[in-house]
Amino acid sequence: MNKITWNKIHKGHTSIKILLISMMAVSMLMSISGAVPFAYITHAGSSTVSVIDTVTNKITATVNLEPAHTPLEVAINPSGTKVYLTNPIDNIVSVINTSTNSITANIPVGTHPRGVAVTPNGKKVYVVNSGDNYVSVIDTNTNKVTATVNVGIRPRGISVNPAGTKVYVVNYGSNNVSIIDTGTNKIIATVNVGQKPSRVVVAPYGKKIYVVNSGSNNIPGTVSVIDTSTNDVVATIEVGNDPEGIAVNPDGTKVFVTNFFSQNVSVIDTATNKVASTVKVGIFPIGVAVDPDGKKVYVTNLWSSDVSVIDTDTNTVTATVPAGKKPVGVAITPNKKMYKWRLVL
């Protein structure tokens, strides 16, 4: 008799639990709020950085640097909490806290720093010093240079692979790419590319890298495609005159190249290694970045002092944002999503 009573009671409690859980599952709503990606724009004509809300395409903040500091190139850590700027005149890397949009550190590096890249774990920053022909390695916890790596002549651009194991440095004066092992900070290979390489980007899966060869001002430049498994150039793609900036979309299907003197952007189909479209932008385009969703491309136009926003579905400019004096570098924060539960019983 006791057994039957216990079973009945137990079944009753179980039924109540199931009912309550079901009610809570229905009544608790999950809302997803995405942290808005922001584009950070450096200006060669002033000591400022503009911050653009990529949803509204409006400038929401301006970061003032010290008067002598002229920011050039820019990179953002994976968590979107820090922005790193190279200042080639005073030979420092400035660090911006994105929550306050204020400078938190100025790190001395080599002469005339140009390209800058952050490792996927956010622990190191690699900076090319064009005047000294070496790369500075910065520990992001201490904001100190912990190593230097000698590379080619007049290094310009730099990119880290998704695994964080290799750094690719383009040497403008050597017409090649130095490959650095991040574990040892040693050069493990050198790859010859086109004339006057200026920028480099690694595809999202790390299997290919794309190098912009600016070449002569009067003839079209090229993009060298390197297979990372063999370090061989597997394709050369002709683009516009004096290509400068390069970026790849999140799924690796498109590469965007700014052509300085052609005043347009070449859109490369990575499946065919051919230019699929050419987009007219502002005067003397230089920097380029793709938003985290791959829907928009932001292009800095040096001479027209604005930023062109390209819709990647239509390959057309859908907005032009006035962005201060001589915008150069551009980087976009990652799109972080937060999940919130709300009880509405």
Residues 204-254 have pLDDT tens digits of 999 999 999 998 666 789 999 999 999 999 999 999 999 999 999 999 999
- 68 and 6 together in one domain: no
Within a domain: 93: yes
Within a domain: 344: no
Q: Where are the alpha helices (DSSP H) in the chain?
A: 2-27
DSSP 124-187: EEEEEETTTTEEEEEETTTTEEEEEEE-SSSEEEEEE-TTSSEEEEEETTTTEEEEEETTTTEE
| Whole-number pLDDT of residue 176 | 98
Q: What is the CA radius of gyration of the chain?
A: 24
- 15 and 122 together in one domain: no
Within a domain: 263: yes
DSSP 53-68: ETTTTEEEEEEE--TT
313 backbone dihedrals φ, ψ, rounded to 5° = -75, -35
Number of domains in the chain: 2
The list of the chain residues with pLDDT below 70 reads 1-35, 67-68, 216-218, 336-345
Q: What is the pLDDT of residues 94-139, one digit of tens each?
A: 999 999 999 999 999 999 999 999 999 999 999 999 999 999 999 9
The DSSP letter of residue 36 is: P
| Alpha-carbon span 213 to 190, nearest angstrom | 16
| Whole-number pLDDT of residue 70 | 83
- 21 and 118 together in one domain: no
Within a domain: 169: yes
- 12 and 87 together in one domain: no
Looking at residue 321, its amino acid is V
H or E segment to which residue 311 belongs? strand 306-311
> 156: phi > 0 → left, psi -120 to 50 → alpha, else beta; which?
alpha
Question: Structural domain of residue 25, as residue ranges?
Answer: 2-30
- 12 and 148 together in one domain: no
Task: Give the residues across from 250 on adjacent strands.
Answer: none
- 135 and 11 together in one domain: no
- 8 and 67 together in one domain: no
- 17 and 109 together in one domain: no
Structure tokens at 102: 């204020």
| Whole-number pLDDT of residue 217 | 65
- 12 and 60 together in one domain: no
| Whole-number pLDDT of residue 343 | 34
- 147 and 25 together in one domain: no
CA angle 57, 330, 140 (to 5 degrees): 120
Structure tokens at 62: 């301006």
Within a domain: 345: no
Q: 89: domain CATH number?
A: 2.130.10.10
- 224 and 317 together in one domain: yes
| Alpha-carbon span 283 to 146, nearest angstrom | 40
| Whole-number pLDDT of residue 22 | 41
Using CB atoms within 10 Å of the CB of residue 33, give its burial: 0 to 12 exposed, 13 to 18 middle, 19+ buried.
exposed
Within a domain: 124: yes
Structure tokens at 94: 């400035």
| Alpha-carbon span 276 to 254, nearest angstrom | 9
| Alpha-carbon span 197 to 205, nearest angstrom | 22
Termini Cα distance of the chain: 39
